[in-house]
Amino acid sequence: MGSQSPTNASSAEHSLPWFATSRGVIFVAAFLTRLGCAAYILSTYFGPQLLYLQNEPSHIAAALASGLGFSSPYANTPTTPTAQQPPLYPLLLAGVFKVFGIFTVRSAWTAVSINILAGAITAILVYHVGRLHFSEKAGVFAAWLWVVPWGYRSTSLSVSLSNGSLAALGLTALFLWTPKTLSNRSRWFALGVYCGLLVLLQTSLLTVVVIYAGWLAVAKPGSTPMRWSRVGVAAAGILLALAPWSARNYSTFGRLIPIRDNFGLELWVGNRPGMHGTMDFEGDFPDHDPTNYVRLGELPFMDAKLDEARAFILRDPSAFGRRFLLRIVEFWYFPYPFSWIVFSIAGWLGAAAALWKDRRNWVWLAILAVFPVVYYITHNFASYRDPVQPLIILLAAYFTVEMIALARSSFSSSD
């Protein structure tokens, strides 16, 4: 599976300074860099209350905290039920609002502090995932890349009211769920439930959990029927986790909506008549002009946007293809500095190197390839990378460590 033996791990650990492998040092360093970054951004560029501006999860959380139910994702719209967001993050924000007040500075800082804590814990998990699947040095290098506040914006992830930091933490924890721990059906069922909760936190992780669970199933020894049995048990766990939310949506809207209902709107943002660039929020996007959203209601509005976007794509598929290619570039680079493209390329090379070393390591390359496809089709924000950012950093660290080892080996042999 690409993981190293305990003996090699131990020898590698002894060759590194104690503080480099100290979980406590890694956690404190990651926490402080994120706290410092948040304090600097929120004191220099904008105040904490601006985090609520055009932020759908916080608007839904305000409705929940006010006793109005899961509703009102957009400002200046009536209080009506919504499935625009998956439920877990708005529910978390609602709890914060209940304790510290709706749309207050204290609530904003509490939400940011949760992100900071999640990022610090992720640093420790990145170390363990690297150690488990690659090498001790790769895990250490990745953890410290995740700690330092330069280049790839990991620290600034904290300064938002979004599920990105928690999704990154949850996905990194999933990568510690290895075949060795999945020796019975109950653990596969627990894996499925956990994956379902991840999807209820961040919908785009659905493809990742399917790929990863499939990899675990085929990587673990056993006959084909046994493998499909494991997949079936995990699928049952996912469905159980999704069932209450899906049932709520069916009861509320009279239609099966497993997670969220806004795909049509997101597709329209990146594919609509009169648009500029690769995404355009002008026109009747609800935060810009809620008239049609209010007039039609949420589901008919989302359906209308889906129809408009599909018609636009079918009228000019070559233009859609150009936008698709541009969004690939955007996802892996734009608009952040050149250093990020270095990490992106190194991450892809790390995934390819892992596959070259052991063909069972196809999972990393598959995740990088499949996760962003929905954003290539719809539209991009740099924050959409957040859930897989720890994996990209880990693969980049693995590639760097492997190249250094290869260079040293070549240099030693030339002597």
- Residue 233 corresponds to which tokens in the numbers above? 């048990």
Q: Token match 């020796």: residue?
A: 183
- Residue 323 corresponds to which tokens in the numbers above? 């936008």
Closest residue by Cα to residue 166 from 118, 108, 126 = 118
Give the separation between CA 238 and CA 47, rounded to whole angstroms: 39
**What is residue 153's predicted lDDT score, i.e. its pLDDT?**
55
Query: Quick check: 332 pLDDT over 70?
Result: yes
Give the separation between CA 100 and CA 127, rounded to whole angstroms: 34
Percent above pLDDT 70 for the chain: 90
**What is residue 150's predicted lDDT score, i.e. its pLDDT?**
52
pLDDT band at 222 (very low <50, low <70, confident <90, very high): low
More confident residue, 146 or 149: 146
**What is residue 339's predicted lDDT score, i.e. its pLDDT?**
74
Give the separation between CA 211 and CA 214, rounded to whole angstroms: 5
| C-alpha torsion sign, points 38, 42, 48, 49 | negative
**What is residue 408's predicted lDDT score, i.e. its pLDDT?**
82
pLDDT band at 155 (very low <50, low <70, confident <90, very high): low
Long-range contacts of residues 363-367, Cβ cutoff 8 Å, at least 24 apart: 363/211, 363/212, 363/215, 364/391, 364/395, 366/211, 366/215, 367/208, 367/211, 367/212, 367/391
Q: Are 228 and 236 in contact, with CB atoms under 8 Å apart?
A: no
Give the separation between CA 100 and CA 55, rounded to whole angstroms: 18
Q: Token match 């979004």: residue?
A: 162
Query: What is the pTM assigned to this prediction?
Result: 0.91
Average pLDDT over residues 13-40: 86
More confident residue, 153 or 119: 119
**What is residue 337's predicted lDDT score, i.e. its pLDDT?**
65
pLDDT band at 5 (very low <50, low <70, confident <90, very high): very low
Question: Both ends of the chain: CA-CA distance in Å?
Answer: 33
Q: Token match 């009102």: residue?
A: 72
Average pLDDT over residues 19-43: 90
Closest residue by Cα to residue 375 from 309, 304, 278 = 278
Q: Token match 């609800």: residue?
A: 286
Average pLDDT over residues 40-67: 92
**What is residue 276's predicted lDDT score, i.e. its pLDDT?**
86
**What is residue 151's predicted lDDT score, i.e. its pLDDT?**
47
- In the predicted model, what is the mean pLDDT of the chain? 89
pLDDT band at 3 (very low <50, low <70, confident <90, very high): very low
Q: Are 306 and 263 in contact, with CB atoms under 8 Å apart?
A: yes
Closest residue by Cα to residue 364 from 119, 130, 124 = 130
pLDDT tens string 161-218: 999 999 999 999 999 987 667 777 788 999 999 999 999 999 999 999 999 988 888 8
Give the separation between CA 130 and CA 394, rounded to whole angstroms: 7
Least confident of 231-245, 299-313, 321-335, 343-357: 321-335
